[in-house]
Amino acid sequence: MRILVTGGAGFIGSAVIRELLTQTSCVVANVDKLTYAGNLESLASVSDSPCYHFYQVDICDATALDTVFAEFNPTAVMHLAAESHVDRSIDGPADFIQTNIVGTYTLLEAARGYWSALDESAQAAFRFHHISTDEVYGDLEGADALFNETTSYSPSSPYSASKASADHLARAWHRTYGLPILVTNCSNNYGPYHFPEKLIPHVILNALSGKPLPVYGDGSQVRDWLYVEDHARALIEVLNRGVVGETYNIGGHNEQQNIEVVKTICELLEELTPGKPEGVDAYGDLITFVADRPGHDRRYAIDASKIQRELGWVPAETFESGLRKTVQWYLDHPGWWQRILSGAYRLDRVGRAKLQ
Ligand code: NAD
């Protein structure tokens, strides 16, 4: 397979590309604009592979996308490029509307133009896999049923509303034009190479430098957590064996309150770090409750039984094992995150437009 991955320099996209290039014989084109969230250093272990190609392209640029499709000749698209941080979407929604909605539309049109010109068997084999979030379903109160693939959409933030719009576009392109679409909606991911603005790496890195560990509201918000490499494997499974037109929810069966996540990270750091920053007696003392995020969803919980039943996918990591691996990874890879915190990762980006 020749897979065009959008957003491959991001957290999940880079995990997908590492998995594709180390565990399969696929050829991969990474199409990424390299926003602040894109980091080619997350692909350092695989970017010398002859099966890896990089195009620095904005998915809103129709002409550039047409060139990539014509040059790379993909047999599938895995669409992960997005603006993904809820807090940023509240401060400035414009980029979210542009990339998540207009960008998805532009990519769908580029894919449709390319796909329409393929011969019949190549058209039948082609897949467009749209990767989305469980946040499109809104939030759950108390003992409400879990989100399943038929739960109505009720997004709360500009981020989730833009992703919901993109999901509708992807499904419409299947229904109206016959483009062979697959959609997945996944719960919160965590793991190696996670950008430091997100909860888990933010807490790990703040704790290591003795800074406050901010927790929104009372910290009782519940999220379902999935280890990123489990998500990458699920996505590849859906791409290979999912039924065209279907949606698959992906989740870890790991519901945790945010405050419990933060406390567990503190406990792991107590165990795994030899010393603490000056003036810190216990990492837990750094926990600081801050004003809640506007419109903050209380609880997400996903029913991932369809992908298990139909495709046999189950996560390999529990939250305990995955979080331990994650904390250890940040301890073992200070170079990766220090270059993000200092901004160096943006200054000397390498490997531009490695075209065929
Ligand atoms: P991320 O923010 O880490 O990475 C996004 C990538 O997209 C970056 O490399 C960025 O440079 C690129 N990008 C942004 N705008 C672009 C544009 N206009 N053109 C080309 N590239 C562009 O995001 P992530 O956490 O890896 O999420 C990937 C996808 O998975 C997103 O669609 C997100 O909605 C979805 N998702 C994320 C989670 C999660 O917990 N992180 C959970 C479920 C679904």
Res 316: pLDDT? 97
Q: Which residues of 130-162 are buried (b: 16+ CB within 10 A; e: fewer)?
A: bbbbbbbbbbbeeeeebbebebeeebbbbbbbb
Catalytic residue among 159, 190, 227, 283: 159
Output phi, psi for 248, to 5 deg: -125, 125
Distance CA 303, CA 74 (A): 32
SS3 at position 190: strand
Catalytic residue among 135, 230, 303, 317: 135
Strands 222-227 and 255-257: antiparallel
Res 145: pLDDT? 84
Strand order in the sheet with 127-133: 52-56, 27-32, 2-6, 76-79, 127-133, 181-186, 247-250
Does the model's pTM come out above 0.85?
yes
User: Does residue 159 carry a catalytic annotation?
Assistant: yes
Distance CA 304, CA 185 (A): 10
128 pairs with which residues across the strands? 77, 181
How does pLDDT run across 161-197, given as a tens digit for each residue? 999 999 999 999 999 999 999 999 999 999 999 999 9
Residue ranges, the chain, pLDDT below 50: 351-356
Res 73: pLDDT? 98
Length of the chain equals 356
Complete domains list, the chain, with CATH: 2-193+225-255+297-319+342-348 (3.40.50.720)
How does pLDDT run across 268-322, given as a tens digit for each residue? 999 999 899 999 999 999 999 999 888 888 898 899 999 999 999 999 999 999 9
Of 37, 153, 158, 172, nearest in space to 104 by CA: 172
Res 348: pLDDT? 58
Distance CA 146, CA 300 (A): 8
SS3 at position 243: coil
Place of tokens 């970017």: 47
Place of tokens 């599938």: 76
Res 353: pLDDT? 39
With a Cβ cut-off of 6 Å, ligand 1 is lined by 6-7, 9-13, 32-35, 37-38, 58-60, 80-84, 99, 103, 131-133, 163, 186, 188-189, 195
